[in-house]
Amino acid sequence: MFSFFSSQNADIFSINIISTQVLTLSFLKICRKLVERPKKFEASMNDLFSRLLELQKTFANELKINGDKDTITLKYNPKEQLYEDNIFANNPAIKFVNMFHKTMSEWLIDTIRGIEDTDSRLLQNAQFVMKQYINMLSPNNFPFLNPDFLKETMNTSGRNIKKGMEILMNDMLSGTITTNDRQKFRIGKNIANTAGKVIFQNKLIELIQYLPTTTEVYTKPILLVPPWINKFYVLDLTSEMSFVKWLVDNGFTVFLISWVNPNEKYRNVGFEDYILDGLHASLNKIHEITGENQVHAFGYCVGGTLIAALLAYMANGSCKHQSKTRITSATLMASLVDFRNAGDLSVFMTKIFLETIHDHIENRGILDGHIMHNAFSALKSKDMIWRYVINSYMFGKKPPANPILFWNSDATNLTVSMQQFLSKDLYYDNRLIEGNVSICGVPINLECIKVPLYIVSFVKDHLVPWTSTFDSTKFFGGDIRFVLGGSGHVAGAINHPSKNKYCYWVNERKDNGASSAEEWEKTAEQFPGSWWNDWINWVAPKMGKQTKPRNISAWLRDAPGIYVNNELPT
């Protein structure tokens, strides 16, 4: 939606134009609904008039209070050769513009939210579009309305502008806004570098087994199932942030799926293939290597959705693919099974948008990963777009190295078949909880899942709302521990205990009868630090006795493998 146009990314540009048009159309439909309701429209105009009058009074008081202050003379420090006071921040014109933007933004959002008897998806799209334009029109995004830019320009004699233009030109050539210093990281060197071996490969996955670091390990292995819409190493960032390394250092035998980054030849590879050639094949290989017939499965985002689907499939008596290693407990981290309230990503799940996107990518066979990256960035445009426009193009500062943002910009493609399933069958039609998703002809019924589940969600997750994951607990048939972690979809997930950041909530009351997320939250108890501490106390007793580490006797190559570097199987 916000990528630059270049000859190298014409398809991405055209998709972004389509998405902008579709979303703007939703906004215009909402505006028409408002105009067609004279009383509602009149009330909205009266509300705006009242707010502007209040703005006038507030601004007049500001002028009266600060009228005797010097807003013209700059204080210059000849020793430091810098202007000390940022008097531009006190400039009446700049102050008024900021106050006006705030007033209009709040009125617009409140007006849209107040429109009743309207399709919820249409209303959500209209709010999304309005927030995009509000963020875009922030005074700080305009050089001569940004007091910090004006001060920086004077202190550097305009060198910041020259550096900013250089960064802008490079970004235009690359077709995207640079959010991270990618030269600082090397996959397998200082990121995704936990020691391990690729012990199995097919057309869809590399299965990695990590080397033990303890004298004893739990008998049962753990299988990590990351999402395929991103690279796996969000679970294995730097050593100080790696969930994989933390598991290994705590005595777990860890296996992890690394998904291939598909090209057009994978166009017909869909959800059933990811179930059978991905998750099911991994379970059989784990049995072959370890001899164990029980494993704990840990899924992140749609990786958790995949685990839930396989568990329900294998619990059905008609299942045609019983694995030799069974999932006897599972963790679903920030994973949806009920997509009725699917977070901010739902704005891209309207019927007309899905049809347009599908028609556009049908000939290519894949949805280019950079389109997904731009979509995710648009959902948090203030932090992921305009923040870098200001710092990079106006201040001439290159973004610092950040392992999370490095991973976030490492885009992966979606096959046409998988894109259609995720967007239409899951997000739009919500077929999973209705029993209308089948694997090899066997309908999926989540109530058949009886194994213990640890479901963790995050309080600021804009992609997977925690209230939706809580509501999904009623669809499972076994014992569930629900935990709410601090922060968002990524930062909350990889919250290493050594950081002692954020917090988490649990509700130990078995008889609280909470029928909603709000009721659960009222009696939940807050604990400091990482939810990892709670999780390991829950999972460790289920992992069997301690035994000597297993040696890896046969492997294909060192971790992190080749699929993570976008190489394809030969």
Q: What angle do CA 292, 293, 299 make, to 5 degrees?
A: 95
Q: Indicate the residue type of 285.
A: K
Q: What angle do CA 310, 315, 317 make, to 5 degrees?
A: 120
Identify the pLDDT of residue 67.
58
Q: Are residues 258 and 560 in contact, defined by beta-carbon separation less than 8 angstroms?
A: yes
Identify the pLDDT of residue 123.
79
CA atoms within 13 A on the CB side of 345: 21
Please say if the pLDDT value at position 18 is more than 90.
no
Q: How far apart are CA 196 and CA 192, in angstroms?
A: 10
> What angle separates helix 38-66 from helix 10-35, to the nearest 10 degrees?
100
pLDDT digits (tens, 9 = 90+) for 402-448: 999 999 989 899 999 999 999 999 998 999 998 899 999 999 999 99
The residue with greater pLDDT, 515 or 215, is: 215
Chain-centre distance of CA 512, in angstroms? 32
Confidence of residue 349 (pLDDT cuts 50, 70, 90): confident
Those residues with Cβ within 8 angstroms of residue 53's Cβ, 6 or more apart along the chain or in another chain: none
- Domains recognised in the chain with CATH numbers: 7-166 (no CATH), 196-368+411-565 (3.40.50.1820)
The residue with greater pLDDT, 533 or 180, is: 533
Identify the pLDDT of residue 565.
95
The residue with greater pLDDT, 20 or 212, is: 212
Q: Which of 346-355, 452-461, 514-523 has the highest mean pLDDT?
A: 452-461
pLDDT digits (tens, 9 = 90+) for 126-184: 888 888 889 999 999 999 999 889 888 988 889 999 999 999 999 888 777 888 888 89
* Mean pLDDT computed over every residue of the chain: 88
Chain-centre distance of CA 527, in angstroms? 24
Identify the pLDDT of residue 570.
72
Identify the pLDDT of residue 70.
44
Q: Are residues 210 and 258 in contact, defined by beta-carbon separation less than 8 angstroms?
A: no
| Cα-based torsion angle of the residue sequence 537, 538, 542, 548 in order, rounded to the nearest 10 degrees | -30
Please say if the pLDDT value at position 510 is more than 70.
no
pLDDT digits (tens, 9 = 90+) for 241-261: 999 999 999 999 999 999 999
Q: Which of 258, 192, 276 is nearest to 569 (CA)?
A: 258
Identify the pLDDT of residue 115.
81
Largest distance between two CA atoms of the chain: 83
Q: Which residue has the tokens 């077709």?
A: 175
Identify the pLDDT of residue 513.
58
The residue with greater pLDDT, 216 or 358, is: 216
Q: Which DSSP string do the residues of 493-518 spell out, in sequence order? A: TT--GGG--SEEEE---TT----SHH
For residue 61, what are its two tokens?
């008081």
Those residues with Cβ within 8 angstroms of residue 79's Cβ, 6 or more apart along the chain or in another chain: none
Q: Please, which residues bridge with residue 525 across strands?
A: 506
Which of 214-223, 347-356, 496-505 is predicted with the least confidence, judged by mean pLDDT?
Answer: 347-356
Q: Are residues 523 and 193 in contact, defined by beta-carbon separation less than 8 angstroms?
A: no
For residue 100, what are its two tokens?
């006006």
Q: How far apart are CA 291 and CA 314, in angstroms?
A: 20
The residue with greater pLDDT, 513 or 432, is: 432
Average pLDDT over residues 196-220: 97
CB atoms within 10 A of CB 211: 14
Please say if the pLDDT value at position 1 is more than 50.
no
Please say if the pLDDT value at position 21 is more than 70.
no
Q: Please, which residues bridge with residue 282 across strands?
A: none
Q: How far apart are CA 458 and CA 504, in angstroms?
A: 9
Q: How far apart are CA 247 and CA 251, in angstroms?
A: 7
Give kind and range of the element (H or E) at residue 163: helix 159-174
SS3 39: helix
Q: Please, which residues bridge with residue 482 across strands?
A: 455
- Angstrom CA distances, 134 to 47, 129, 379, 467, stand at 19, 9, 13, 27
pTM for this predicted structure = 0.88
Identify the pLDDT of residue 59.
87
Identify the pLDDT of residue 76.
60
Which of 57-61, 440-444, 504-508 is predicted with the least confidence, judged by mean pLDDT?
Answer: 57-61
The residue with greater pLDDT, 269 or 511, is: 269
Q: Kindly state the DSSP code that residue 84 receives in the 8-state scheme.
A: -
Identify the pLDDT of residue 74.
59
SS3 178: coil
pLDDT digits (tens, 9 = 90+) for 254-292: 999 999 999 999 999 999 999 999 999 999 999 999 999
Q: Indicate the residue type of 192.
A: A
Q: How far apart are CA 372 and CA 11, in angstroms?
A: 13
Please say if the pLDDT value at position 60 is more than 90.
no
Query: What is the chain's Cα-based Rg?
Result: 26
Burial degree of 424 (CB within 10 A; 0-12, 13-18, 19+): middle
Q: Are residues 432 and 339 in contact, defined by beta-carbon separation less than 8 angstroms?
A: yes
Of all residues in the chain, what percent carry a pLDDT higher than 70? 91
Identify the pLDDT of residue 556.
97
Of all residues in the chain, what percent carry a pLDDT higher than 90? 63
Burial degree of 255 (CB within 10 A; 0-12, 13-18, 19+): buried
The residue with greater pLDDT, 6 or 148, is: 148
Q: Are residues 244 and 309 in contact, defined by beta-carbon separation less than 8 angstroms?
A: no
The residue with greater pLDDT, 478 or 358, is: 478
Q: How far apart are CA 301 and CA 459, in angstroms?
A: 15
Identify the pLDDT of residue 5.
40
Please say if the pLDDT value at position 75 is more than 90.
no
Those residues with Cβ within 8 angstroms of residue 83's Cβ, 6 or more apart along the chain or in another chain: 74, 75, 76, 77, 151, 154, 155
Q: How far apart are CA 145 and CA 149, in angstroms?
A: 8
Q: Which of 188, 227, 243, 234 is nearest to 408 (CA)?
A: 234
Confidence of residue 71 (pLDDT cuts 50, 70, 90): very low
For residue 247, what are its two tokens?
């598991």
SS3 380: coil
Please say if the pLDDT value at position 37 is more than 50.
yes
Catalytic site includes residue 31 = no
Active-site option among 301, 319, 440, 448: 301
Q: How far apart are CA 284 and CA 325, in angstroms?
A: 6
